[in-house]
Amino acid sequence: MLKSVVTFYQELPSTVKRVLLRGLLLWFVFSVSYYYIFLPHGKMVKAFTHITSISTVWVLNNYYSEGFVMGSPTTLGEIIQLGKRNILYIMDTCSGFKLFVLYLGFLICAPGKVKSKLLYSFTGVILIYILNILRCCAIAILVLQKPHWTYFAHHYIFTIIVYSAIFFLWLSFLKIKKSSAL
């Protein structure tokens, strides 16, 4: 099996090898940084969680029902309440931080022009941010209206939607890169 993996790798085009090696290096650096720097010190991840929570409360109050407020922050995230009821707990791992890094990491590793990468970076992060806010709002509404659907929607449906969106953003970038090379 190991021999077939090595043979497969050796047969890859040099561009694909470069992207894979960059990706592995970036993944390693991010993983070490995330678990030993970002999470323990928490300021950057907490900022993403706070912005996600504020935005979710704003959208819920403006488009669903007034009365949503931020509860007291906890060590792992922030609580959104309606009245005195805890509706949504946005953990630091749900802030979208890892999604942004995943998306941007691919753009960094992929071959392409810096201008295209910057445009796709900005546009993609905004779209992922909006999608994550809508995801949080949808979970809050499910908690209120269909609580028995919440677990499945959060862990499966919304995960598929978010990662599919990221995948299609990557495909769009690759198509632009391919068409500009012609």
Using alpha carbons, select from 105, 166, 106, 92 the residue that is nearest to residue 131: 166
pLDDT band at 101 (very low <50, low <70, confident <90, very high): confident
Phi first, then psi, for residue 86 (nearest 5°) are -75, 120
Residue 109 contacts by C-beta under 8 Å, 6 or more apart in sequence? 19, 22, 23, 26
* Domain limits, the chain: 2-181
Q: Quote the pLDDT of residue 182.
A: 45
pLDDT tens-digit profile of 59-92? Answer: 999 999 999 999 888 877 899 999 989 999 999 8
- Can you give the pTM of this predicted structure? 0.82
On average, the pLDDT of the chain sits at 87
DSSP string, the chain: -HHHHHHHHHHS-HHHHHHHHHHHHHHHHHHHHIIIIIHHH-HHHHHHHHHHHHHHHHHHHHHT-TTEEE----SSEEEEEETTEEEEEEEGGGSSHHHHHHHHHHHHHS---HHHHHHHHHHHHHHHHHHHHHHHHHHHHHHHH-HHHHHHIIIIIHHHHHHHHHHHHHHHHHHHHHHHH-
pLDDT tens-digit profile of 19-60? Answer: 778 878 888 887 787 777 766 666 778 888 999 999 999 999
pLDDT tens-digit profile of 108-125? Answer: 888 888 999 999 999 999
Q: Quote the pLDDT of residue 64.
A: 93
Instruction: Using the Cα atoms of residue 44, residue 42, residue 47 and residue 163 in order, give the sign of their dihedral.
Output: positive
Q: Please provide the distance, in angstroms rounded to a whole number, between the alpha carbons at the two ends of the chain.
A: 38
Cβ contact 36:45 at 8 Å: no
Place of tokens 């810096």: 114
Using alpha carbons, select from 113, 112, 132 the residue that is nearest to residue 51: 132
The span from the CA of 105 to the CA of 138, in Å, is 27
